[in-house]
Amino acid sequence: MAKMWPKLSKPPVEVALFQLKFEMGNTALSDFLKCDSQLSKYFPKRNDTIEASINLPSSSIPLGVSKISGTSNAKMVNYVYYSEDQKCKLTIGEGSLTYTDERDYIGWDEFERVVCQYLMVFAPILEKHIITRISIRFINQFVLDEFEDPTVYFKTIISSAENGVPYPLIKYGFRLMLDIKEGVYSIVNQNLDKTPEKYLYIFDIDVLNKSNLIFDISSIQSVLQELREVKNDIFFSNVTDKIIELCN
């Protein structure tokens, strides 16, 4: 039976990210351009990132305007596809695919559907490739009127002994790395920043699975469901009822 979590009518998700790491094998980065026409239906804009190094002769370079010669070595680093409003981005690099969505978060089902839609485009290229890591990252932001007592909002906080550093704080941050099970871990960052009028609290959850598998969309979906459960368990076990109220 699937786990049940509280429903949030106003999800605090600012950024939802999916990343796939894989072995390139005999595939070249340029092979992914075979998908360009399909990807352009979803992402009408594309930027190519080129990395170049220049070797100059060992003789000294004269001051002022002069002509010099050297040897350059340039290579393609990645292809970055953007939606029209640039709120969705798909980055294709050597051994990695990264999808970033900064639109209003509708829900997990839609996020998973879109991810699988793009994976279907890459399936002819990635079939039989070894997947070395699958990860999701959700960056949540809460806008708070006051933050005199962190325990009102969150269960995992920076503690202070009696007569220690007092609250309220203007800014702080801490990072946790959680060992979930073999091959699965999570990196959690929590940061508070005070603006002139509000407090901004970032709750950043990154969940990663390092288990190797052969590229298969149904297998990737199973891993995604597992990562989602970990992400939700971390989120809902850390926030109080006050935060749940703010998200509804």
Q: What is the pTM of this model?
A: 0.91
Q: Is residue 238 part of a domain?
A: yes
Q: Is residue 144 part of a domain?
A: yes
Q: Is residue 1 part of a domain?
A: no
Q: Is residue 4 part of a domain?
A: no
Q: Is residue 61 part of a domain?
A: no
Structurally, the chain folds into a number of domains equal to 1
Q: Cis peptide before 168, with omega less than 30 degrees from 0?
A: yes
Check whether 1 has a pLDDT greater than 60: no
Tens-place pLDDT, residues 22-60: 999 999 999 999 999 999 999 999 999 988 777 766 666
Close Cβ partners of 156 (under 8 Å, ≥ 6 residues apart): 176, 190, 238
Which amino acid appears at position 203 of this protein? F
**Which range of residues forms the domain containing residue 124?**
13-49+74-246
7 or 135: whose pLDDT is higher? 135
User: 196 in the Ramachandran plot: left (φ > 0), alpha (ψ -120 to 50) or beta?
Assistant: alpha
Rounded to an integer, what distance in angstroms lies between the CA atom of residue 194 and that of residue 201?
9
The CA-based angle 49-81-231, given to 5 degrees, is: 105
Check whether 171 has a pLDDT greater than 80: yes
Tens-place pLDDT, residues 175-200: 999 999 999 999 999 999 999 889 99
Q: Is residue 56 part of a domain?
A: no
pLDDT band (50, 70, 90) for residue 201: very high
Rounded to an integer, what distance in angstroms lies between the CA atom of residue 41 and that of residue 21?
24
Instruction: Report the range of poorest mean pLDDT among 75-89, 153-167, 212-226.
Output: 153-167
CA 243 to chain centre: 23
Q: Is residue 55 part of a domain?
A: no
The burial class, CB within 10 Å (0-12 / 13-18 / 19+), for 81 is: buried
Average confidence score pLDDT of the chain: 91
Q: Is residue 90 part of a domain?
A: yes
